[in-house]
Amino acid sequence: MATAKDFSRLGDIEGVSKYILVRNDGYVVSENYEEAVALSSAIVTSGKLCDSLSDDLEGRRYIYCCVERASGDNILVFSLGRYYLGIIKHSESDPQQLSDTIIGFLKGLA
């Protein structure tokens, strides 16, 4: 079982500016962002919306959803069962390449 400390290594991944691991009730479990609590509800809301879309898509899961921000530091949200992982990417990072790296990281925790 992965621990919050395992997730702290996310900050070392190229392309990751900040990360926030949030329980589905909004509780911040692990983060490296001073404003994590302010973003936690947005991460949970977007994650739950994407989860409900997967029901409409005959149960097929989404890989991630992207909350685009004017700064270009978009937030990639991954659903992890009872948790949601928000990755704030560097504006110059390729989202597909970064998501592949994040998925590999998450699989390594299992």
Instruction: Indicate the domain borders of the chain.
Output: 4-109
Query: Average pLDDT, stretch 89-109?
Result: 91
CATH number of 4-109: 3.30.450.30
Burial zone of 67 (CB within 10 Å; 0-12 exposed, 13-18 middle, 19+ buried) = middle
> pLDDT band for position 60 (50/70/90)?
low
Region of 8 on the Ramachandran plot (φ > 0 left; ψ -120 to 50 alpha; else beta) = alpha
- What's the rounded mean pLDDT across residues 57-79? 81
- Taking Cα atoms as reference points, which of 74, 78, 80 lies closest to residue 110? 80
Q: 76 or 50, which is more confident?
A: 76
Percent of the chain with pLDDT over 90: 60
Query: Which residue in this structure is represented by tokens 């739950």?
Result: 48
Using a cut of 0.75, tell me whether the model's pTM lies above it.
yes
Please tell me the predicted confidence (pLDDT) of residue 52: 81
As a whole number of angstroms, the distance between CA 103 and CA 97 comes to 10
